[in-house]
Amino acid sequence: MTSGRRFTVVVLRSLAIALFAVALLAFAASAGLMWLATTLPDLDTAPPGLGAPRTSIVYAADDSVIAEWHGGQDRKVIPLTSIPKAMRDAVVAAEDPGFYAHAGLASGAVSKALGMSTADGGGRASITQQLVKMIMAQQKRTFVQKVREVLMAYLLETRSSKDKVLEAYLNLAYFGDGRYGVESAARGYFAKPASELTLSEAATLAGIIDLPTKAAPTNDLKLATLRRDAVLIKMRDLGTITSEAEVAARKTPVALNKSALADVAKIAPHFVEYVKQELIAKLGSQAVYTGGLRVYTTLRPAVQRQAEAAVASVLTAPTDPEAAVVSVIPATGEIVAMIGGRDFKTGQFNLAAQGRRQPGSAFKPFVLVAALEKGVSPDRQFETSPLSVKVKDRMWNVTNYENGFTTGQLTLRAATDWSVNAVFARLVLEVGPASVVDAAKRMGITTPLNADPAIALGGLTNGVSPLEMASAYGTLASGGMRVEPTAIRMVSDGSGRVVLKPKTTPKRAVGQDVAAQVSGMLHDVVERGTGMNARFGGWAAGKTGTTQSYRDAWFVGYSGDLCTAVWVGYRQAQIDMTDVRGTKVAGGTFPAAIWGRYTGAALPVMGAAGAGGGAPTTSSGGGSGQETVHVRICRATFLLANPRCPDVVAVDLEPQLVPKSVCTKH
């Protein structure tokens, strides 16, 4: 072979190798692009926030927002249809004016993304490139990674629409002050949803994105205003707003709603924390803090405010003891108000739900239920003198409050009015403490109880919480039907799927006749016994409770649609209340006064129409499609019946026909 031919063969061989290498590289590049495509999210099917951590929102029963929970990122994900055009145009003008024209890569952005300088010093990353960086935020920024981001930005727009890219971007972008996504930013800075943003507010938010720490209006309002004005000028130059709109928006001051920036629950913080802990136990902390839950609670803010006002009006001095208040609707078990102490910031321990204190005589209704179930008549006479009896290996010595009723006899009804300990001590020895434990558990006391005679006077091993007491008394208020208390109506996830909906099925715990008899006796306690300070002008039933050395004071009672427990005492259980502004704090003093003021103000707010001994229930009525109210009417007065009315008819009435008053004749 001649040298010329050898040269030709070598050249052809080299060329073939080169072509093969190019083909191999092309194949590798194609395979690489295909692999990159598999790592990208599908914006058409993925949720708007691409699964990023989202803020959970807590709603009251009136659908007002009472709290927001998030981990490190406060983000509320919304679809593009909920973001006004002004907001979209403002972000495009501020971040990527050519967004709708390029294929994912802004002019000069590739060189800058790869770390190369450009002649004009420009090359701002496109919205799509910024979105890719957000998606890949946890990965190390190497040169290879930068190349990958550029390719992914191109691929993202070949498989998704511009609207989907912008939607994801607006939900992931950081707007400073811990606010991620345009919805959280709108609510955080302006106390409104993104859908209601004005042009000025939209431009303000758009101006934050490139400099979120410094340009947040809560950090530097002047800088935020200057950047807003710059965005408005860009929008005018792009033709998305008129000159007149730009001038008008620039004249509008940037006004922040500072109340929306609070980092604690706006109302009922102990209630909100109670709900949070329950959800963490059932759904896990990750779902609560990052799952974008929508938590619909039973709290009624108007009722809660009345509870807070009543406590503040009675416990007026900073040195006064604290109060715990909790209200439930007996027919449904819904917790509508909760006060867990004086100040959530300094005392997050919830005295209403977590605090377990001795109930004193407030526990006596459970003895009454046990006794009446065994056939004891309310009109039976009992000896009132102090009692000393051997129980197991010890003597049980019982005296009456303030050493009263040392001789003579009283009916069980009268002994309940005046909370005569010696009568209830004799009663529990007759019916047996085990029957009292059984009645209390059936009615809603969940704390473990010992079958000791001292239970008749509220002498418990572990104490009980106000929430338990309100729920258990609610069994009497609903005519003997037991309903588990609940603070949650429903919980849904970020996609709207229901993940939790507590069941509140009433169960018969006490006979209706027994419940009505006990309600009548507890009504007397309010009308002429130790609970007279609880009177407010309407029908009410309840019981006072005071422990030794005045360390715990209670009033638990019900009226209409409310059953409420009020506890007064100090967090340190060993502190006596023998001299609080000159008063020995018994259940009939501060607790009864709080209960009466609160109930009298709360019932009109709730629109309650029920009588003691049975809250009204609603049902669909008579084929008319209108909701009706099931009530008991006294035939003699045509008013709502109380448990003592001798001739009662149960009817379903349209709400406007329900009497507003309870019979006081019987």
Q: 534 with 633, same domain? A: no
Residue 302 placed within a domain:
no
Q: Which of 651, 308, 614, 616 is nearest to 477 (CA)?
A: 614
Specify whether the CB–CB gap between 605 and 634 falls below 8 A: no
Q: 600 with 628, same domain? A: no
Residue 294 placed within a domain:
no
Residue 11 placed within a domain:
yes
Q: Which of 365, 474, 373 is nearest to 417 (CA)?
A: 365
Please give the model's pTM, rounded to 2 decimal places.
0.69
In order, the DSSP letters of 106-160 are: -TTHHHHHTT---TTS--PPPHHHHHHHHHTTTS---HHHHHHHHHHHHHHHHHS
Residue 288 placed within a domain:
no
Q: 5 with 65, same domain? A: no
Cβ atoms < 10 Å from Cβ of 402:
9
In order, the DSSP letters of 416-438 are: HHTT-HHHHHHHHHHH-HHHHHH
Specify whether the CB–CB gap between 420 and 380 falls below 8 A: no
Alpha carbon distance 358, 435 (integer Å): 19
Q: Which structural domain range is residue 6 located in? A: 1-39
Alpha carbon distance 478, 541 (integer Å): 12
Of 567, 587, 606, which one is at a domain's C-terminal end?
Answer: 606
Q: 70 with 210, same domain? A: yes
Alpha carbon distance 482, 442 (integer Å): 8
Alpha carbon distance 226, 214 (integer Å): 12
pLDDT band at 510 (very low <50, low <70, confident <90, very high): very high
Q: 82 with 223, same domain? A: yes
Q: 477 with 354, same domain? A: yes
Say which residues have a Cβ less than 8 Å from residue 656's Cβ, sequence separation at least 6.
none
- At residue 396, φ and ψ (nearest 5 deg) are -110, 110
Instruction: Supply the CATH number for residue 431's domain.
Output: 3.40.710.10
216-220, 333-337, 487-491: the lowest-pLDDT one: 216-220
Q: 173 with 76, same domain? A: yes
Which residue type is seen at 424? F
The pLDDT tens digits for 47-85 are 444 456 677 889 999 988 888 887 666 677 888 999 999
- The three-state DSSP-derived secondary structure of 154-185 is HHHHHHCCHHHHHHHHHHHCECCCCEECHHHH
Residue 299 placed within a domain:
no
Q: 387 with 455, same domain? A: yes
Of 266 and 94, the structure prediction assigns the larger pLDDT to 94
Q: 13 with 91, same domain? A: no
Q: 452 with 386, same domain? A: yes
Q: 499 with 556, same domain? A: yes
Crossing angle of helices 162-172 and 182-190, in 10° steps, is 50
Domain count, the chain: 4
Instruction: Supply the CATH number for residue 84's domain.
Output: 1.10.3810.10
Average pLDDT value for residue range 473-491: 95
31-45, 243-257, 411-425, 431-445: the lowest-pLDDT one: 31-45
Answer yes or no: is pLDDT of 30 > 60: no
Please report the pLDDT score of residue 555 as a whole number.
98
pLDDT band at 216 (very low <50, low <70, confident <90, very high): confident
Maximal C-alpha separation, the chain: 141
Of 243, 261, 279, which one is at a domain's C-terminal end?
Answer: 261
Structure tokens of 270?
A: 């102990």
Highest mean pLDDT (candidates 16-25, 75-84, 351-360, 395-404): 351-360
Q: 569 with 622, same domain? A: no
Q: What is the pLDDT of the chain when averaged over all its residues?
A: 82
Q: Which helix (H) or strand (E) holds 558?
A: strand 552-559
Residue 378 placed within a domain:
yes
